[in-house]
Structure 1
């Protein structure tokens, strides 16, 4: 596979603010506390280093450097808290760029869904069941906000129960993309459908072992993982019912 190098450049007021060379210079200053030594370490002249720093400071909303007059070495130059956060942001953006390029190479990832693409390469969770959908509607029942989420592979919406504060914090509106997570122990299995049960779907056991079963929706091929305690009462190809409590589904979204 060919190696890929993506160089991140940030401009402010249509002028170069920061790029890999300037990041290297700031990081060297952070390490050694001296512009002169940082320039040597970054393999640029002192004048070139100073010109870069001056250009950044002119554009920066906050100062990037400050003199440290104390200390056993008689002082030096240190980064401000803003400059340190700038370096952290730059590193974060570089990782995001790398994830984005990996997404481009994986044709199974839809590029019209920000949350799907982001979660695919950036989010790690202990929840075995992770799905994506869109908010269909919201309503209040017994002081809880019930969110109906349309998932393309399900015949009916999945209901999620959250607090009103959570709904407001997530800024949920109709058609907003969301991610749903459900741990395997929260997925229940029964041989017959239950009365007045929410989030109840017919499925077939695809595989099974002493700890868990993989349940598949025959129409869509969508799979759920469920933890089991009595493996002897279940068998492969058995048609059963899957149940998920609306309060045992975690809802996530992007701003």
Structure 2
């Protein structure tokens, strides 16, 4: 199943805007009406001007009537007689309006270019703001990308690649996989309660631990905060992520957990809750 979600970090973010003139609470004209005025000035005909800018004949006449009314003075007038039999011309006020609009539009375009440069990287920042805004009781919130999905009879095994070349595995139902739109390459976050994390200390040889728990994350003890009975121990992983476990004070002493030491955080795949940004 493919996900229809759009990851904003992969979408180009652009700043847009438009300029228009207003008369009181009503809009006198924007780019399309100014373009109509300019085309009338060039062609001498509302019909030809409408065709030139892709506007209907009726729409052009309605726009002209509206602009004349809102401006408080004629912008477009019909001339009569003459060798060509007359036509449609712009008043000096309309010519000045076109020049003014184009000057304002140039400044507006420069503003957008400067503002656009200021938001470089904003898409990534916005994605991060969304992630850090998640409220949950789980102490550990790890963000990564789905690297593999293995389908089983009832449940799916989902692997999440984390920064620092770490991978954690979660077991979720088929329904959850589909509801969350999980697919390889999709962004997701993992929630693990600190009480579900068990800490181990490797032997001097650093041999891999032989445990049934799928997730084993090796890190450096960043802090040990003791309470009356339990202690909160945080490990700093390669890549910058931090995972925290709650263990007894006796376990801290038995394992010799101190800041700067090495330990392994272990938790079962069934203890991992996956989520995605809506």
Q: How does 1:115-154 map to 2 (within 5 A)?
A: 116-121=128-133, 123-141=134-152, 143-153=154-164
Match of residue 182 from structure 2: 172
Structure 1 gaps, min length 5:
1-104
* Offset at residue 141 of structure 1 (A): 4.1
1:226 is paired with a residue whose SS is strand
Segments of 4+ moved more than 6 angstroms: none
Q: Which residue of 1 aligns with 2:257?
A: 235
How far off its partner does 1:254 sit?
A: 2.9
Q: Distance in 2 between matches of 1:115 and 1:142?
A: 34
Counterpart of 1:212 (choices 220, 224, 232) is: 232
Displacement of 1:117: 2.6
Q: Which has the higher contact order (CA 8 A, sep 6+)?
A: 2
Q: Whose radius of gyration is greater, 1 or 2?
A: 2
1:112 aligns with 2:124: yes
- Is residue 163–residue 239 contact of structure 2 (8 Å, CA) maintained in 1? no
Distance 1:133 1:171 in 2: 15
Residues 185, 228 of structure 1: 8 Å contact kept: yes
Please state how far the C-alpha of 1:188 moved relative to its aligned partner. Answer: 1.1
Q: Show CA shifts across 1:72-125 (max 9, x none).
A: xxxxxxxxxxxxxxxxxxxxxxxxxxxxxxxxx9x9x9733765331323x211
For 2:220 and 2:257, locate their aligned partners in 1 and report how far apart those are by CA, in whole Å: 10
SS at match of 1:112: helix
* CA offsets 1:53-90 (integer angstroms, 9 cap, x no match): xxxxxxxxxxxxxxxxxxxxxxxxxxxxxxxxxxxxxx
Secondary structure of 1:138's counterpart equals strand
**What is the TM-score normalised by the length of structure 1?**
0.51
Where does residue 276 of structure 2 map in the other structure?
253
Residues 142 and 115 of structure 1: CA distance in aligned 2, closer, same or farther (over 3 Å): farther
Using the alignment, how far apart are the partners of 1:135 and 1:114 within structure 2?
Answer: 20
Matched residue of 2:163: which SS?
Answer: coil
